[in-house]
Amino acid sequence: MNMLSVRINQQQVRLVLRSNQTARAIADIVPFSATVRRWGQALMFDCPLPVIPAADQPQTELAPGDVAFWSDGSSIILGFGPTPISTGREVRLAHPSTVWADALDDLIAFADVETGSKVEIHLEQSVEIKTARGQ
pLDDT at 93: 96
**Tens digit of each residue's pLDDT (9 = 90 or more) over 15-47:** 999 999 999 999 999 999 999 999 999 999 999
- Within 8 A by CB and 6+ apart from 101, the residues are 4, 15, 16, 17, 18, 23, 26, 66, 67
Residue 57 has what pLDDT? 85
Rounded to the nearest integer, the mean pLDDT of the chain is 91
Mean pLDDT of 37-60: 91
- Other Cβ atoms within 10 Å of 128 Cβ, number: 5
126 versus 58: the higher-pLDDT residue is 58
CB atoms within 10 A of CB 109: 18
Is 133 a residue whose pLDDT tops 50? no
What is the pLDDT at residue 132? Answer: 46
Mean pLDDT of 59-83: 94
- Inform me whether the pLDDT recorded for 130 exceeds 60: no
H-run or E-run covering 133 = none
